[in-house]
């Protein structure tokens, strides 16, 4: 996969960050980043020897200077032991009184207390019960388009993909449209580099959502064929993809709003690439105890297959092929399913008297109830 000239620096640094992680398969990582093993090992050897200039790239700090110094963190823990009922705001005042230079914000003090298990067990935010987070990287990716941005030449439709566990930005692409082929092309590059996730969450809009009997489109059928489980958020509930919504607000504040009008897609993509590296590898994230997303992310071990795998079902399934009109014929009846699966086989498994679940590859896509006078198909 060729690298864009404008992003060669950030992508090389990203490669090195992953290559230095324990247990990394460097050969596989070289393949995903489109470089030879000889080049990858050469860069890695130079970095490990401390020769940063040998890479001919701008030096970047290995950790953010905004991170709280260890001595300040120790001071906060000591103050907490002396004042066990003080929270972040009061402890910050203690630090100021005791002469600590540039004491961290009260929210940072609270995060340090939590990281060191110094908060009371019952001290919880009221909104905690509403939050969810996957236990591991690549268990779930969230995907969405941010509203279009007017340019001097055309429009930009930012496509964003975020790893739910780490908040690592998988994809931040300045797209000319929101068509399925555009999204598929961007995801293919992401899959080649980071591997396949277990699941992907998206809203009900085009190109991954559809109205009528089925939520699925040819695009989501492609994802399912790859072994990715597709999930759609509840209609009119953007909070289902809260991490994406928050990412979009930050993107707008720190990148998009920095110029009255951006020139073209190339200029927009260059700004996206520079900011994405900072976001992933340098920015302390409050939800991650002020660690960077990259500190919690690792590429998936599931590589993108070179060809789509065949569709096969176990013997417990009744197999039917979906017609061009999106219907299947089953037990003497013609039942609506979805045009997304036209021409492909689906598997039906009985789950009750006259009730059958319909699967496309590994994913259940519908339930058919034959006990009704007019058989119903539910997604």
Please say if the pLDDT value at position 199 is more than 50: yes
94 vs 328 pLDDT, higher one: 328
133 vs 263 pLDDT, higher one: 263
Q: How far, in Å, CA of 379 to CA of 376, rounded?
A: 10
Which pLDDT band holds residue 6 (cuts at 50, 70, 90)? very low
Q: How far, in Å, CA of 34 to CA of 185, rounded?
A: 16
* Averaged pLDDT score across all residues of the chain: 84
Q: How far, in Å, CA of 367 to CA of 359, rounded?
A: 9
Which pLDDT band holds residue 193 (cuts at 50, 70, 90)? very high
Angle at 23 between CA 49 and CA 34, to 5 degrees: 75
Which pLDDT band holds residue 13 (cuts at 50, 70, 90)? confident
Length of the chain in residues, anyone? 379
Is 196 in contact with 226 (CB distance < 8 Å)? yes
Cβ-defined contacts of 310-317 (< 8 Å, 24+): 311/225, 311/344, 311/345, 311/360, 311/361, 313/345, 313/347, 313/359, 314/347, 316/349, 317/347, 317/348, 317/349, 317/359
Read off the pLDDT of residues 255-265 as tens digits, 9 standing for 90 and up: 999 899 999 99
Which pLDDT band holds residue 82 (cuts at 50, 70, 90)? confident
354's torsion region: left (phi>0), alpha (psi -120 to 50) or beta? left
Please say if the pLDDT value at position 291 is more than 50: yes
Q: How far, in Å, CA of 62 to CA of 28, rounded?
A: 24
Please say if the pLDDT value at position 58 is more than 70: no
Angle at 281 between CA 52 and CA 252, to 5 degrees: 130
What's the whole-number mean pLDDT along residues 41-65?
66
233 vs 98 pLDDT, higher one: 98
Question: What confidence score (pLDDT) does residue 275 get?
Answer: 93
Which pLDDT band holds residue 130 (cuts at 50, 70, 90)? very low
User: Helix axis angle, 26-33 relative to 8-19, nearest 10°?
Assistant: 160
**DSSP β-ladder status, 155-163 and 169-175:** antiparallel
* CATH, domain 129-309, list 3.30.420.10, 3.40.50.10860, 3.40.367.20, 3.10.290.10: 3.30.420.10
What's the whole-number mean pLDDT along residues 325-334?
91
* CA nearest to 199, candidates 223, 168, 166: 223
Q: How far, in Å, CA of 282 to CA of 291, rounded?
A: 8
Q: Which of 24-28, 226-230, 253-257 has the highest mean pLDDT?
A: 226-230
Which pLDDT band holds residue 212 (cuts at 50, 70, 90)? low
Question: What confidence score (pLDDT) does residue 194 get?
Answer: 96
Question: What confidence score (pLDDT) does residue 221 get?
Answer: 94
Is 296 in contact with 187 (CB distance < 8 Å)? no
**Of 48-57, 62-71, 163-172, 192-201, where does mean pLDDT reach its minimum?**
48-57
Hey, CA dihedral for 85, 90, 94, 95, is it positive or negative? Answer: positive
Read off the pLDDT of residues 136-190 as tens digits, 9 standing for 90 and up: 999 999 999 998 999 998 999 999 999 999 999 999 999 999 999 999 999 999 9
* CA nearest to 208, candidates 237, 193, 230, 236: 230
Helix (DSSP H) and strand (DSSP E) numbers for the chain: 10, 13
345-352 β-sheet, strand order = 318-321, 345-352, 355-360, 363-369, 376-378
Cα→Cα distances 46→15, 16, 54, 277, Å: 14, 11, 7, 21
Please say if the pLDDT value at position 232 is more than 80: yes
C-beta neighbour count of 16 within 10 angstroms: 19
The pTM score is 0.72
Which pLDDT band holds residue 123 (cuts at 50, 70, 90)? very low
Question: What confidence score (pLDDT) does residue 56 get?
Answer: 54
Map tokens 């890695």 to a residue: 44
Which pLDDT band holds residue 272 (cuts at 50, 70, 90)? very high
Domain ranges of the chain: 70-122, 129-309, 318-378
Angle at 7 between CA 241 and CA 185, to 5 degrees: 55
What's the whole-number mean pLDDT along residues 26-50?
87
Backbone angles phi, psi at 28, to 5 degrees: -65, -40
C-beta neighbour count of 377 within 10 angstroms: 19
State the alpha helices, DSSP H only, in the chain.
8-19, 26-33, 37-48, 70-82, 88-97, 106-115, 180-194, 218-225, 242-254, 265-281
Please say if the pLDDT value at position 237 is more than 90: no
Q: What's the N-to-C CA distance of the chain in angstroms? A: 37
What's the whole-number mean pLDDT along residues 209-238?
81
Read off the pLDDT of residues 343-360 as tens digits, 9 standing for 90 and up: 999 999 999 898 999 999
Which pLDDT band holds residue 95 (cuts at 50, 70, 90)? confident
């Amino acid at each position: 996969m060729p690298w864009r000239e404008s992003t060669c620096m950030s992508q090389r640094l990203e490669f090195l960050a992953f290559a230095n992680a324990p247990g990394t398969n460097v050969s596989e990582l070289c393949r995903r980043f489109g470089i030879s093993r000889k080049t990858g090992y050469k860069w890695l050897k130079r970095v490990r020897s401390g020769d940063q200039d040998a890479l001919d790239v701008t030096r970047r700090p290995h950790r953010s200077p905004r991170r709280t110094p260890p001595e300040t963190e120790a001071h906060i823990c000591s103050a907490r032991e002396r004042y066990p009922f003080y929270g972040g705001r009061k402890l910050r005042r203690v630090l100021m009184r005791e002469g600590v230079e540039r004491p961290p914000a009260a929210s940072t003090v609270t995060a340090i207390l939590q990281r060191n298990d110094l908060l009371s067990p019952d001290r919880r935010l009221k909104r905690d019960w509403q939050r969810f987070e996957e236990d591991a990287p690549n268990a779930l990716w969230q995907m969405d388009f941010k509203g279009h941005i007017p340019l001097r030449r055309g429009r930009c439709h930012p496509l964003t993909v975020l790893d739910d566990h780490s908040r690592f930005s998988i994809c931040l692409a300045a797209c000319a449209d929101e068509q399925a082929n555009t999204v598929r092309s961007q995801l293919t590059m992401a899959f080649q580099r980071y591997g396949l996730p277990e699941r992907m969450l998206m809203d009900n809009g085009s190109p991954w959502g559809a109205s009528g009997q089925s939520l699925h489109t040819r695009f989501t059928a492609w994802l399912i064929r790859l072994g990715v489980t597709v999930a759609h958020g509840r209609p009119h509930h953007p909070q289902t993809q809260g991490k994406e919504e928050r990412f979009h607000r930050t993107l707008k504040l720190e990148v998009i709003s920095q110029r009255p009008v951006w020139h073209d897609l190339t200029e927009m993509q260059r700004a996206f690439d520079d900011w994405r590296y900072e976001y992933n590898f340098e920015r302390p994230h409050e939800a991650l105890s002020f660690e960077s997303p990259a500190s919690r992310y690792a590429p998936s071990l599931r590589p993108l297959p070179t060809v789509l795998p065949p569709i096969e079902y176990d013997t417990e399934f009744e197999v039917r092929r979906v017609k061009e009109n999106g219907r299947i014929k089953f037990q003497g009846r013609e039942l609506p399913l979805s045009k997304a699966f036209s021409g492909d086989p689906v598997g039906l498994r009985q789950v009750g008297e006259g009730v059958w679940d319909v699967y496309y590859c590994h994913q259940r896509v519908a339930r058919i109830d034959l006990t009704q006078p007019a058989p119903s198909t539910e997604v």
